[in-house]
Amino acid sequence: MSSFIINGGKILNGKVAVSGAKNSALKIMAASILGSSKVILENIPDIEDVNTMVQVLKTLDAEVKFDRGKNILEINSSAIDSYEAPYELVRKMRASVLVAGPLLSRFGRVKVAVPGGCNIGARQIDLHLKGFEALGASNSIEHGYVISSAGKNTKGCAGTGAHRLTGANINLDFPSRGATENLMMAAVLAKGETTINNAAREAEIIDLADFLISMGADISGVGTDCIKIRGVKKLAGTKYRIMPDSIEAGTFVVAAALCGGIVEIADAIWKNLEIFCLKIKETGIDINRTSDNTIIIKKTAKKLKPVYISTLPYPGFPTDLQPVIAVLLSTAPGISIITENVFENRFMYVEELNRMGANIKIDGHHAVINGVDRLSGAPVKAFDLRAGAAMVLAGLAAEGVTEVYDIYHINRGYERFEKKLGSLGADIKLVNQTDMNV
């Protein structure tokens, strides 16, 4: 068990660079299953979720080499001889279910543990499964696993190519990112054309499509709500660089807004974060960009203004930055309101933030934030990845010492978080339980 100990109130200054995007890297790693030869991925973040996806791929018998120092990952899927994502790994990381689309597409069968609920909501995979069915697969749920196979043969057709999925018209009830990604990967080797209507439009979807196109896939319309995929017979290995992580960039924006100084955030793509950056501007923070994808935040002498926020799929306000911006709004005088529309259980962190002196009331899927003058340090718990990052930001801004527990959640998605914050002047230390026993 490790924790972060933060001595709050330090001013942040300087430049920090954003790592590769977690939510792009994980999907592109899964998509590497589709390649008949070696895939080389650059800018892979050295985070726990990537380690879990490495384990998933190894379980499937792929060869994987991760050069952490260089952030380069090599995946060779030519020896894959297993089609099962086991419960231990899916339980650890839901994104493990993203191997289903590529396995079904390439080998005609997959067995993947049904992910349960998680700390931010129920998070079903019904849209993924309905889409597989539309592409001609049959799904059954047995002993906690979904078994999908192309055609009627439930034993599947590993390696023979005898059963291929068939292109179809798919209408998603909700622009789910995971479903869009899984179905795009399932359709690339299907026979004929697939259209995904009401598709997700996030930049990570475009990154995944660009990766698949570099392997030889035929995809158009990404970035719109209608994606067209014309199936091809084979995809080859490739070399690809993962896009930078927008949520990490947004996290540093809020850290700087709370504690700058002048902070420059390199590899922060404004277009992917536009509505978030505009909301930050609306609070009165001085936020600007340069032509080389750097965002610059300057502390303003003026009092912050409250704002209203509604989370929505892209291009709406990203739900992943909801807990993070709540910390900033908890110190903006007046009433701010956040409406969470994507996940039903994403305000778990509020009780912890209130223990640090914030004044936030939850009413259904709305948070009513009454800004306070200051937060005060306290021992707090990270409920999930982004809630954990929010606790760290609150600790940076708070008076006194904050200890954030359960930081394994944070390590799932932030590379060298405490080191990057430390390089800007934050007083944050990683403490391992063993250190405390000495």
Give min distance, CB of 385 to ligand UD1, in A: 8
- Of the ranges 54-62, 171-179, 277-285, 395-403, which one interacts with ligand UD1 (CB under 6 A)? 171-179
With CA atoms as reference, report the closest residue to 249 among 20, 407, 10, 3: 20
Residues numbered 19 to 48 that lie near ligand UD1 (CB under 6 A) are 23, 26
Query: Does residue number 178 form part of the binding site for ligand UD1 (CB under 6 A)?
Result: yes
- Which of the ranges 124-132, 331-339, 362-370, 399-407 carries the binding residues for ligand UD1, by CB under 6 A? 124-132
- Separation CA 224–CA 213 (nearest Å): 17
Taking CB atoms, the residue at the shortest distance from ligand UD1 is 178
How far is residue 392 from each of residues 158, 408, 415, measured CA to CA in Å?
Answer: 47, 13, 14
Q: Which region, judged by CB under 6 A, interacts with ligand UD1, from 2-10, 154-162, 173-181, 390-398?
A: 173-181
Q: Residue from 90, 104, 125, 183 that binds ligand UD1 (CB under 6 A)?
A: 125
Strand order in the sheet with 39-42: 63-67, 72-76, 39-42, 239-241
Which residue lies nearer to ligand UD1 by CB, 343 or 347?
343
Cα–Cα dist 421/263, whole Å: 11
DSSP 32-64: GGGBSS-EEEES---SHHHHHHHHHHHHTT-EE
343: contact with ligand UD1 by CB under 6 A: yes
Q: Does 115 bind ligand UD1 (CB under 6 A)?
A: no
- Residue 5 CB, shortest distance to ligand UD1, in Å, is 27
> By 3-state DSSP, what share of the chain in percent is helix, strand and coil, each rounded to 5?
35, 30, 35
Q: Which is nearer to ligand UD1, 122 or 162 (CB)?
A: 122
Least separation, in Å, of the C-beta of 321 and ligand UD1? 10
| Residue 296: CB minimum distance to ligand UD1, A | 26
If the CB atoms of residues 174 and 308 are measured against ligand UD1, the closer one turns out to be 174
* Burial (0-12, 13-18, 19+ Cβ within 10 Å), 121: middle
Q: Is 217 in the site for ligand UD1 (CB under 6 A)?
A: no
Question: Cα–chain-centroid distance for residue 117?
Answer: 17
3-state DSSP call for residue 421? helix
- 171 interacts with ligand UD1 by CB under 6 A: no
Q: Are 211 and 31 in contact (CB under 8 A)?
A: yes
Among 90, 158, 165, 179, binds ligand UD1 (CB under 6 A): 179
- 118 assigned to active site: yes
Q: Which residue stretch of 121-129, 236-244, 281-289, 299-307 sits at the interface with ligand UD1 (rule: CB under 6 A)?
A: 121-129
Does the footprint of ligand UD1 cover residue 95 (CB under 6 A)? yes
Site for ligand UD1 in 267-326 (CB under 6 A): 319-320
Q: Residues, the chain, total?
A: 438
Applying CB under 6 A, which of residues 86, 121, 192, 261 lies at the interface with ligand UD1? 121
How many whole angstroms separate alpha carbon 367 and alpha carbon 22? 27
Told to check if 412 binds ligand UD1 by CB under 6 A, we report no
Q: Where are the alpha helices (DSSP H) in 260-377?
A: 274-282, 322-329, 350-355
We find the least distance from the C-beta atom of residue 33 to ligand UD1, in angstroms, to be 17
384: nearest Cα among 344, 428, 432, 346? 346
**Cβ-count burial of 17 within 10 angstroms (0-12 exposed, 13-18 middle, 19+ buried)?**
middle
Given a contact cutoff of 8 angstroms between Cβ atoms, the answer to whether 360 and 375 are in contact is: no
Residue 128 binding ligand UD1, by CB under 6 A: yes
Q: Does residue 396 contact residue 421 with C-beta atoms inside 8 Å?
A: yes
Q: Which amino acid is at 360?
A: I
- Which C-beta is closer to ligand UD1: that of 315 or that of 333? 315
Catalytic residue (one of 118, 157, 226, 277): 118
Q: Taking the complex as a whole, how short is the minimal distance between the CB of residue 110 and ligand UD1, in angstroms?
A: 16
Q: Nearer Cβ to ligand UD1, position 174 or 408?
A: 174
201: contact with ligand UD1 by CB under 6 A: no
In the complex, the smallest distance separating the C-beta of residue 362 from ligand UD1, rounded to whole angstroms, is: 17
For 59-85, give the DSSP string.
HTT-EEEEETTTTEEEEE-TT----EE
User: Smallest distance from the beta carbon of 319 to ligand UD1, in angstroms?
Assistant: 5
Residues that bind ligand UD1 (CB under 6 A): 23, 26, 95, 121-128, 174, 176-179, 319-320, 342-343
Q: What amino acid positions are annotated as catalytic residues? A: 118
